[in-house]
A and B are shown apart, each in its own frame.
Chain A
Amino acid sequence: MNNSLKKSRLYLLGLLPFFLIAFLFEILPLANIVVESFSKTGGNGFTLEHFFKIFTTRLYQQSIFNSLWISIFSAFIGIVIAFLGAKAANAASIKIRNIFTSVLNITSNFAGVPLAFAFMILLGNVGILTLIGKNYGIGFLADFDLYTINGLLLTYIYFQIPLATLLMLPIFGGLKKEWKEAVGILGGNSFHYWFKVAIPSLLPSILGTFSVLFANSLAAYGTAYALLSNNIALLPIRISQQYVGEVVQNQEFGCALSLVMMALMVLSILITNKLQKRATGGRS
């Protein structure tokens, strides 16, 4: 009897809450996105019309392009700044590094709608820097238009920097002092060190960071929505528009757009993995 008690599968009940949540809110919605993307609006039946519309309409082509463009650029610029920042922080004293890290930790919480608002009062039509620019004739401040994709890019770069630097700091910790010394002994200068030794050895981690940043800005919504409402061709905005707002709602089309965005996410992960493998020479 005791043996049968031991063999009972009662413990499997422990998995129930998790599977219930995952099933209801992860697996089913995902499956539903796929199914609805290929369903006719408001009814049943297989169709490719949504995807046809996405890839032939100027607005949606532009949305995909803008989403990719802003994600790649903000990630790239974020990485470059983070690289310089992490390199500098790594060379600085512990006290300075700690202060810098605190600034990163604090500002990494600053994103979404609040961030958009902060940039509006900074660089909006009556923003403080804009006014200063006008009053003192500083052209690029006075004429800066926040409510464009370039303005949006600036805000994206802002939220990428703390995240990117926080991810890069530990990576820099992995650089060995001996490598630099070895390069020196072999007659190399710091150019050789950085471009032949340090950056190649950091590359897999940098690619990983890039992937995180890319996904981060591809999915970003609050900042763009607060800054430009629905007046911008950007994938997340176009998706949400199918569900909320004044325009006629079309959830099958929203599902198709979501599927496209998901494909971009997965694609970026796959590409990074591939590049990472190549960068490590197939080691890991």
Chain B
Amino acid sequence: MKTKTHVWDVIILLLIAAFLILPLALTFFYSVFTQWTDILPTGFTLSFYAGIFSDGAFINSLLRSIIISFVPVVICTISILLVLYVITLYVPKMEKYIEILCNIPYAIQGVILAAGVISLYSGKPGFLSNRIFLLVGAYCIIILPYVFRGLKNTIGALNVQCVIEAAQVLGCSKFHAFFSIVIPQMKRGIVSTMMLAFTMLFADFVVVNMIAGSSFRTAGIYLYQTMSKSGQTSSAIIVILFITTLIISTLTMIIQNKQTVKGRKS
């Protein structure tokens, strides 16, 4: 009976994996063939990729996506690190209020947040109605829970209080100690948290579509606009975006592993 269940387990895993991989694989094959009207596609080509990369508009949109995802991640990470500095070393009582603020975005995901932000700021004078500014702000809130949790867990694993005291006794200020001793120890956690937040924003469609629309064409918007024009080009874009995301996640892991190895070896 035991071996029987084992076979069943493998079959289940295979079925699930097949279902998950099928659309992905298909998108890829779709992007490298000109014709697909029967079981097997015909006419292998890389011309769709060549077309995308010779098209400045796509490259620009990709760069826009990278920048608009990266800036909020940096702002959010720095803000949370400063918050953690204050709540771990000065006012631990404040943590629960900060935590509530950081958890609210779970309940106002995507569309609600975007609706709230444009309702409030559209038509307001000056920089407040600047779409890029609003997008950066809204993105900071989207990733807030994940950045807070990631960094808090990282700092929680360290013996911050004692290390800071040791540094103080040696003549170092609290602030200097936090940024020269505690933060370097958090490097791995900070990098992986930032990468996770980045991939979340990189994949965003709803917030950018509602707040900036066609006035700020990120890769997601570009893809949406291409979809009605060319199927193969769209699938090529999807493949490129997907690979970008995968490279970032893989890089995260490599960086993490390297650090542990380095720490152990030397």
Contacts and interface: CB of A to CB of B under 8 A. Distances in A.
> Do A and B come into direct contact in the complex, CB within 8 Å?
yes
Interface stretch (B36-44, B53-61, B158-166): B36-44
B19 A18 contact: no
Interface string B116-131: 1111101000000000
B54 to A, nearest CB: 22
Given A15-B82, A96-B13, A115 B23 contact: yes
Contacts of A84: 12, 16
B137 A24 contact: yes
Interface string B200-240: 00010110011001000000100110010001001100100
Nearest to A105: B249
A12 to B, nearest CB: 7
Contacts of A22: 101, 141, 144
Interface in B25-75: 26-27, 30, 36-39, 75
Given A17-B78, A26-B101, A121-B235, A85 B12 contact: yes
A190 to B, nearest CB: 9
B105 A226 contact: no
Given A112-B205, A113-B220, A219 B110 contact: yes
Given A236-B110, A242-B115, A88 B8 contact: yes
A10 B110 CA distance: 35
Contacts of A117: 27, 223, 227, 234-235, 238
B210 A243 contact: yes
B5 interface: yes
Contacts of A226: 205, 224, 227
B181 interface: no
Nearest to B205: A222
A258 B113 CA distance: 9
Contacts of A215: 106-107, 109
B24 interface: yes
Contact of B119 (A119, A254, A266): A254
Nearest to A25: B137
B72 to A, nearest CB: 9
Interface in A95-136: 96, 100, 103-107, 109-115, 117-119, 121-122, 128, 131-132, 135
A206 interface: no
Contacts of B114: 240, 243
Interface string A67-111: 000000000000001001101110110001000100111110111
Nearest to A126: B37
B220 A112 contact: yes
Contacts of B132: none
A48 interface: no
User: Of B16, B205, B223, which is in contact with the most chain A CB atoms at under 10 Å from its CB?
Assistant: B16
A21 B20 contact: no
Interface residues of A, number: 77
Given A110-B23, A113-B220, A226-B227, A36 B119 contact: yes
Given A15-B83, A262-B112, A158 B19 contact: yes
A142 interface: no
Contacts of B13: 85, 88-89, 92, 96, 100
B261 interface: no
Given A11-B90, A85-B12, A103-B17, A17 B79 contact: yes
Contacts of B80: 18
Interface in A206-238: 215, 219, 221-222, 225-226, 236
A276 to B, nearest CB: 16
A18 B98 contact: yes
Interface stretch (A27-35, A55-63, A171-179, A197-205): A27-35
B104 interface: yes
A29 B241 contact: no
Contact of B16 (A28, A161, A243): A161
A54 interface: no
Contacts of A243: 114-115, 118-119, 210
A255 interface: yes
Contact of B20 (A32, A132, A158): A158
B8 A25 contact: no
Contacts of B105: 26
Contacts of B37: 131
A41 interface: no
Contact of A104 (B20, B23, B231): B20
B203 A111 contact: yes
A41 to B, nearest CB: 12
Given A14-B86, A221-B111, 17 more contacts: A26-B104, A85-B12, A85-B13, A85-B16, A88-B12, A91-B9, A103-B20, A106-B246, A107-B21, A112-B220, A115-B23, A158-B19, A240-B209, A243-B119, A243-B210, A255-B116, A265-B107
12 contacts: A15-B83, A21-B76, A26-B101, A26-B113, A88-B8, A89-B13, A100-B17, A113-B205, A132-B39, A158-B23, A221-B110, A222-B206
